[in-house]
Structure 1
Amino acid sequence: MLNRERGADADLGRLIGAVGRGDRVALRSLYEAVAPKLLGIIVRILQDRGAAEDALQEVFVRIWQRAGSYDPQAGAPMPWLVAIARNQAIDRFRQDKSTRLTQVEDGVLERLPDGQDGEADLAQRDALTTCLERVETPQRECIVLAYCEGWSREELAARYDCPVNTVKTWLRRGLISLRGCLEAA
């Protein structure tokens, strides 16, 4: 078994060396040899197959660009390839999360779940919408993002560039205001 692993490492090392010299056929062979394993790692990090497939393409662009710097004396080829894939997936995850946290949130009230039991639910939804409109903007947006979209306090704090305790206060005050309005309605 150990000899087989050494043989596989040697084969991967030769392929990476050839890729470093600009050999496109070697890149294809390397892709066929390691893409399934690297894709599995990326999918576990991103939790989205489509995004993982895009990230895998970026991984192989990086491998193409960096293969000339691979030193087989510094370590086995598979950990080197896995590190590139893992780092790319983490970068992609952070970028996607950062984009999500900084997007302008338009129509936050339209994201309230629709009722499914007819007029009673419609009346409750209208009352909730009316009462939410009376809650101050950051509190209202935090409530909707937290309770309808599942955002964490930490994500909301990053979105509004404020401490987590401020978000907790906004949520608490917003819910108190909302409860008071709904009870009066």
Structure 2
Amino acid sequence: MTSVIDDDATRVAQRFVAGDERALAEIYGRWSSLVYSLALRSLGDVTDAEDATQRVFVSAWQSRHRYDAERASLSAWLVGITRNVTADAHAARARDRAIMQNSAIHAADEAVPGHESVLAERLVIADEMAKLDAVPRQVVQLAFFDDLTHTQIAERLDMPVGTVKSHIRRSLTRLRERLEVNHGAL
């Protein structure tokens, strides 16, 4: 019985490496729950685990030519990809926390300026927001001005939650860099 299962797994892996999309669907059916469970245990968030699972299978598909059945089983290879994807997610979280903490520290360090200074800073921020591409600008506006969650933004704009988070992270980084340059020039 074990050899039949092994032979079937070997054939599916061969079809997968050859680019057979039905093999990808079979592999997803077999191992998505394992990948999801590992991602959920590591990340502790259902939405992040779902996003990580999607990224694992996209990454596996895109790098299928690098899979070597001699070195590891397909499930072990997917577990390795899952570890890399969750590590990337943790690193992104750490960057987001650092950006938020840095912003909070700078805000706390500065005395509350007069009304004119606040108005000038708002104009600078509005100008920098206008320089963002349309979709990232809309995502940032929905997150910070309309106070929507990542999931609500994803539903409203019909895009994956991970894409929403990426737009926010990249946009905040760009805004911070531009504002640091502008603030130094003022």
- TM-score computed with the length of structure 1 as normaliser: 0.52
Distance of 1:8 and 1:80 partners within structure 2: 18
Amino acid of the structure 2 residue aligned with 1:98: R
* Percent identity of paired positions between Structure 1 and Structure 2: 28
| 1:105 corresponds to 2:103 | yes
- TM-score computed with the length of structure 2 as normaliser: 0.51
| 1:88 corresponds to 2:85 | yes
Distance of 1:97 and 1:12 partners within structure 2: 38
Q: 1:72 aligns with which of 51, 69, 74?
A: 69
CA RMSD of aligned residues (A): 2.6
| 1:137 corresponds to 2:109 | yes
1:1-185 matches, cutoff 5 A = 4=2, 7-103=4-100, 105=103, 137=109
> Does the CA-based 8 Å contact 1:17-1:70 persist in structure 2?
no
Q: CA deviation at 1:16?
A: 2.7
Amino acid of the structure 1 residue aligned with 2:103: E
Q: What is residue 170 of structure 2 aligned with on the other side?
A: none
Cα deviation 1:49-86 (Å, max 9, x = unaligned): 10110011010011101222211111222211111111
Structure 1 unaligned residues grouped into runs of 5+: 110-135, 139-185
Distance of 1:78 and 1:41 partners within structure 2: 12
3-state SS, counterpart of residue 105 of structure 1: helix
Amino acid of the structure 2 residue aligned with 1:137: D
Cα deviation 1:122-163 (Å, max 9, x = unaligned): xxxxxxxxxxxxxx729xxxxxxxxxxxxxxxxxxxxxxxxx
Report the count of equivalent residues: 109
Distance of 1:92 and 1:59 partners within structure 2: 12
Q: CA deviation at 1:107?
A: 10
- 1:14–1:72 distance in 2 versus 1, CA, 3 Å: same
> Does the CA-based 8 Å contact 1:59-1:88 persist in structure 2?
yes
Distance of 1:90 and 1:11 partners within structure 2: 31
Amino acid of the structure 2 residue aligned with 1:37: L
- 1:68–1:82 distance in 2 versus 1, CA, 3 Å: same
Distance of 2:52 and 2:59 partners within structure 1: 10
Structure 2 unaligned residues grouped into runs of 5+: 111-186
Amino acid of the structure 2 residue aligned with 1:48: D
> Does the CA-based 8 Å contact 1:16-1:67 persist in structure 2?
no
Rg comparison, structure with higher value: 1
- 1:106–1:44 distance in 2 versus 1, CA, 3 Å: same
Q: Which runs of 4+ in 1 moved over 6 A?
A: none
